[in-house]
Amino acid sequence: MPYVNLGKTWQTDYDACMTHATQISAQVSASAKQLLDEFSTVSGIKKSRIVEDALWFYVRARQELPESAIVPARLVLSQRGATALEQSLAQPPQATPALVRLMRTLESPDEE
């Protein structure tokens, strides 16, 4: 399996990469651990590979992309913001004429 070059020379043999491995420890939520366990089981990819890839991709993205391009994994809202969001979802505003025109120009997924 080839690896993406992320500023570090990757070898194509994962076991060769891991000959100089070191252990890290981190506290994660139970849901994050469950997600890792399930993905590893289903995909057959070792947890250490998933964690290492995720770490490299995350750090490189933060280094290379502007802050405005980063979408947070979690969004913390004030009580006021949460209430406003809840109301918008319960009663969405009417689409503007410009939005309606735009949506009519897009192909439906069935047409692809």
* Same domain for 65 and 89: no
Say if 34 falls within a structural domain: yes
Structural domain includes residue 8: no
High-pLDDT (> 70) share of the chain, %: 79
Residue 13 pLDDT greater than 90, yes or no: no
Sequence-distant (≥ 6) Cβ neighbours of residue 10 within 8 angstroms:
3, 4, 17
d(CA 8, CA 56): 10
Same domain, 60 and 18: yes
Q: What is the mean pLDDT of residues 94-112?
A: 83
Task: Please give the model's pTM, rounded to 2 decimal places.
Answer: 0.54
Inside any domain, residue 9: no
Query: Same domain, yes or no, for 46 and 90?
Result: no
In the predicted structure, residue 44 carries a pLDDT above the cut 50 = yes
Residue 45 is part of which domain span? 14-69
Q: Does 25 share its domain with 56?
A: yes
Domain assignment present for residue 74? The answer is: no
pLDDT band at 48 (very low <50, low <70, confident <90, very high): very high
Same-domain status, 85 and 61: no
Residue with more model confidence, 22 or 108: 22
Q: What is the mean pLDDT of residues 79-103?
A: 93
